[in-house]
Amino acid sequence: MEIIFIFSAGVTPVAKIKVLHVVRPAAGGMKNHIIDLVNRTDKSRFDVTVACPPNSQLWELFII
């Protein structure tokens, strides 16, 4: 497990908060909502993971 620390003047280092989005096969509005949530989340503060069915539309978008 990798722990990332954020340093700020006068503040104790804080590890990133882990966020897990668990979704069923999604299309349309729900798919767009998850994409927006992931893309607009501050990656310097949060470690975001999306759990979705293999070979779904979201799988294809988020697979590296």
**How many domains is the chain built from?**
1
The residue among 64 and 60 whose pLDDT is bigger is 60
On whether the pTM is more than 0.75, the answer is no
The DSSP line for 4-64 is: -EEEETTEEEEEPEEEEEE--S--THHHHHHHHHHHHS-TTTEEEEEE--TTSHHHHHH--
pLDDT at 58: 79
pLDDT at 60: 78
* Closest to 20 (Cα-Cα) out of 44, 41, 51: 51
Residue pLDDT, tens place only, 7-50: 555 555 578 999 998 888 767 788 888 889 989 999 999 999 88
Residue pLDDT, tens place only, 2-16: 555 555 555 555 789
Question: Domain range for residue 38?
Answer: 5-62
Write phi, then psi, for 13 (nearest 5 degrees): -55, 140
